[in-house]
Amino acid sequence: MVRCPPDDPPGGRETLAMDAPETIDDARAWRAVADWHHAAFTGLVLATIVRCGTPLAAELIERVFARQREVRFLDGLRKLGIDRLPHAVAAAQYHYLSNDVGGVAVQFMPESERKAWVRYVPPRWIWAGTALCAVPDEITVAMLRGWHARNGESLGNPRLGFVCTKTTTAGDAALEGYYLEHDRPLAPHERLRFARDEDGPAFDPAKAPVLASAAWPRERLEKARRNYAMEYLRTALPIAADVLGAERMRDVARLAMRQVGMQHHRDAAAALGVPAQGDAAAFARFLEAMARGQGDAVSVRQAGDAVRVIQSGPRLLDGAGAARAAARDAWAGLWDGALAAHDRGLALHVEEAGSGDAPALAWTIAPRVRGAG
């Protein structure tokens, strides 16, 4: 049986030994956090396409997936125990297994030691629901350039490339293609090519590795899927600040986050079992539950009509570096939008509340000043 670390997707940071026993309430919170940040990432990409144009959105996506590959791929191969397989097979198995951990439907079809297929079947996780209708095919190409086309580069094998045969963003029945080890080194522009007239073989589960998630307790699988979803937005926000510029990113991303927060607050609150409407204290319960679901320590204090929520970290901003302020301001739009749906008479203010070694955010929920925006 192929096994990978029990909580994070391959290459992640947490291990089973570090975990305390969890409850089903934790699993429910992890699911709400995963859905929340999944929607936020999709919203960020759609807003970039609409407000900044497809070329900048494609650059954002290519860099996000390149960064994920740099951080996760080789470490993930080792943790999955597939790092000694032929490179084409190992790369395809990695995508099959690691995406299953994240709740993404992927198929793996080996053809030989030098050729192995992967197929991402609908419904596509990354462009959930009707979002798929708004994503140009150039965005899929950018994703493949950032990750699939450069697996050979990561493995030190210049002969390994990826051939894409189908894309759902073009209306095909799946995103499909195969890793192929050629007889010669490939130039950078040859690492990704398209052969849309080719059809992949049927998926045979008997030829696929055993899915690691099949042996996992439900709670641990929910936590892994939370981390998988959060990682996309955690990676994207600092890169968006670089691609768009910090000020433009704040405007574009914060608006997108606010809209996502407004749209998804009711469902998230229901999933957590907290009120979707009420006073500042009721919204603080939502913030607290979501912060704990993200893996952050949190404390709540009421002062008159205002409530102050202190959130350690947060993990979502880990690694943001110099882009932390821009990423924080954009991410705060999620919670600002949620509060607008909760009670438009309340306002949300966020500020840094920790030190360099122990960063934290302070969220203050208070009645909106009459005449304020």
At 286 the pLDDT is 97
For the domain with range 16-215, which CATH number is right: 3.40.50, 3.30.1380, 3.80.10, 3.30.70?
A: 3.30.1380
With beta carbons less than 8 A apart as the criterion, state whether 149 and 140 touch: no
With beta carbons less than 8 A apart as the criterion, state whether 323 and 242 touch: yes
Query: Phi then psi for 219, rounded to 5 degrees?
Result: -60, -40
Cα 340 to Cα 116: distance, rounded to the nearest angstrom: 48
At 220 the pLDDT is 78
With beta carbons less than 8 A apart as the criterion, state whether 254 and 232 touch: no
At 19 the pLDDT is 32
At 3 the pLDDT is 31
Cis-peptide into 9, omega within 30 deg: no
At 80 the pLDDT is 87
Which value, to the nearest 10 degrees, does the dihedral of the CA atoms of residues 21, 25, 26, 30 take? 150
User: Within a 13 Å sphere around the CA of 275, how many CA atoms are in the beta-carbon half?
Assistant: 12
Q: Where are the domains of the chain?
A: 16-215, 257-367
Show pLDDT as tens, one digit a residue, over the chain (373 residues). 333 333 344 343 332 222 333 344 888 899 999 999 999 999 999 999 999 999 999 999 999 999 999 999 999 999 888 999 999 999 999 999 999 888 899 999 999 999 999 999 999 999 999 999 999 999 999 999 999 999 999 999 999 999 999 999 999 999 999 999 999 999 999 999 999 999 999 999 988 887 665 667 777 788 889 999 999 999 999 999 999 999 999 999 999 999 999 999 999 999 999 999 999 999 999 999 999 999 999 999 998 899 999 999 999 999 999 999 999 999 999 999 999 999 999 999 999 998 888 999 999 999 998 765 5
At 17 the pLDDT is 24
At 12 the pLDDT is 38
At 214 the pLDDT is 64
Q: Show the 3-state SS of the chain.
A: CCCCCCCCCCCCCCCHHHCCCCCHHHHHHHHHHHHHHHHHHHHHHHHHHHHHCHHHHHHHHHHHHHHHHHHHHHHHHHHHCCCCCCHHHHHHHHHHHHHHHCCCCEEEEEEECCEEEEEECCCCCCCCHHHHHHCCHHHHHHHHHHCHHHHHHHHCCCCEEEEEEECHHHCCCCEEEEEEECCCCCCHHHCEEECCCCCCCCCCHHHCCCCHHHHCCHHHHHHHHHHHHHHHHHHHHHHHHHHHCHHHHHHHHHHHHHHHHHHHHHHHHHHHCCCCCCCHHHHHHHHHHHHHHCCCCEEEEEECCEEEEEEECCHHHCCCHHHHHHHHHHHHHHHHHHHHHHCCCEEEEEEECCCCCCCEEEEEEEECCCCCC
